[in-house]
């Protein structure tokens, strides 16, 4: 009986740890937003230039809402500022993620569908498909080209013994140009630094940290024969820190594995969750009838 209680406690603790913000910046796992919860996230992607490039900072905001227990929807607003050039608003994205299976399995599929209305100046690199973004041309040239794109992902993810393992296969189609399909991938592994809560009320306790690594990049397109030649690939350690009951921060330096794109990307993010917003709104407007 005691052993059974210990096992249940371990699983409950691991579940609460993985209830905090995922450490990944590019890879998606199978965890969705809780129904009725709203999460506001602010991120930046900063590119360190190589010869012939210039440094830039690409901030973006995510507004995420748990529609149901198996459906999460997000709105992205993004921009970009390049040293010695200009700062521009590069567009918006609307993302939806669906879990077809109700219960937790050792591998959990998630279907991802996103519509993008962005310019060629977009550099947030939330995903990388084809050969990656243009980081050399001036914003005046890139901002003039607007894209309507449809992006789809197959997300496969599971958590075992405290470790999360997630893989994403990405397909993107530019609806505004007669182009083929572009492809990309992301793969990540992460775990909490401690699987058991310490019992102390502190923010620097190990159970408040998730750490891991992710690798992501482009896989070419149908126009180049699905070839990864001249594509961008990154290897990135990732860390997430739960700084409060509702807030967390993430950081990741990404290192290029190829000579395309920026040699180093620095990513930083902060997220704040408003829990039970849907219930509060329902009570508010329901009481006015």
Query: DSSP states of 114-162 as a string?
Result: EEEEEETT----SS--BT----SS-HHHHHT-EEEEEEEEEEEEEEETT
Structural domains in the chain, CATH included, are 2-286 (2.40.160.40)
Q: pTM value?
A: 0.88
User: Can you give the pLDDT at residue 198?
Assistant: 63
Q: Which residues of 171-194 are buried (b: 16+ CB within 10 A; e: fewer)?
A: bbbbeeeebebbbbbbbbbbbbee
User: Can you give the pLDDT at residue 280?
Assistant: 79
User: Can you give the pLDDT at residue 204?
Assistant: 86
| Six token digits for residue 70 | 């198996």
**Separation of alpha carbons 145 and 20, rounded Å:** 38
User: Can you give the pLDDT at residue 229?
Assistant: 76
Query: Does residue 209 contact residue 241 with C-beta atoms inside 8 Å?
Result: yes
Q: Can you give the pLDDT of all 289 residues of the chain as single tens digits? A: 444 433 333 333 344 444 557 899 999 999 999 999 999 999 999 999 988 789 999 999 999 999 999 999 999 999 999 999 999 999 999 999 999 998 989 999 999 999 999 999 999 999 999 888 888 899 999 999 999 999 999 999 999 989 999 999 999 999 987 788 999 999 999 999 987 766 667 888 888 999 999 999 999 888 877 777 789 999 999 999 999 999 999 999 999 999 888 999 999 999 999 998 888 777 888 765 4
Query: Does residue 147 contact residue 174 with C-beta atoms inside 8 Å?
Result: yes
Q: What are phi and psi of 42, to 5 degrees?
A: -125, 125
**Separation of alpha carbons 289 and 278, rounded Å:** 17
**Separation of alpha carbons 257 and 260, rounded Å:** 9
pLDDT in tens, 109-121: 999 999 999 999 9
**Separation of alpha carbons 116 and 151, rounded Å:** 8
User: Can you give the pLDDT at residue 20?
Assistant: 57
pLDDT in tens, 216-241: 999 988 887 777 778 999 999 999 99
Q: What are phi and psi of 171, to 5 degrees?
A: -130, 135
**Separation of alpha carbons 170 and 28, rounded Å:** 11
């Amino acid at each position: 009986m005691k052993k059974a209680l210990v096992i249940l406690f371990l699983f409950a603790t691991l579940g609460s740890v993985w209830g905090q913000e995922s450490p990944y910046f590019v890879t998606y796992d199978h965890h969705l937003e809780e129904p009725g919860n709203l999460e506001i996230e602010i991120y930046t992607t900063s590119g360190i230039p190589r010869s012939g490039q210039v440094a830039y900072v690409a901030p973006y905001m995510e507004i995420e809402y748990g529609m149901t227990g198996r459906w999460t929807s997000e709105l992205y607003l993004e921009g970009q500022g390049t040293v010695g050039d200009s700062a521009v608003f590069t567009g918006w994205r609307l993302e939806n993620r669906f879990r077809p299976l109700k219960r937790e399995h050792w591998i959990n599929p998630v279907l991802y569908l996103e519509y993008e209305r962005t310019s060629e100046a977009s550099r947030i690199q939330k995903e990388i498909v084809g050969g990656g973004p243009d980081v050399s041309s001036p914003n005046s040239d890139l901002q003039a080209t607007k894209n309507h794109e449809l992006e789809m992902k197959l997300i496969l993810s599971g958590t075992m013994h405290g470790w999360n393992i997630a893989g994403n296969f990405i397909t993107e189609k530019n609806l505004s140009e007669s182009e083929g399909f572009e492809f990309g991938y992301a793969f990540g592994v992460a775990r909490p630094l401690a699987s058991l809560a310490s019992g102390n009320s502190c923010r620097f306790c190990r159970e408040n940290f998730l750490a891991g690594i992710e690798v992501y990049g482009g896989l070419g397109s149908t126009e180049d024969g699905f070839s990864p030649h001249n594509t961008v690939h990154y290897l990135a350690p990732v860390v997430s820190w739960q700084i409060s009951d509702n807030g967390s921060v993430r950081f990741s330096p990404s290192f290029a594995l190829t000579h395309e794109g920026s040699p180093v990307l620095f990513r930083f993010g902060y997220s704040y969750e408003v829990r039970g917003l849907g219930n509060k709104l329902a009570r508010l407007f329901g009481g006015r009838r």
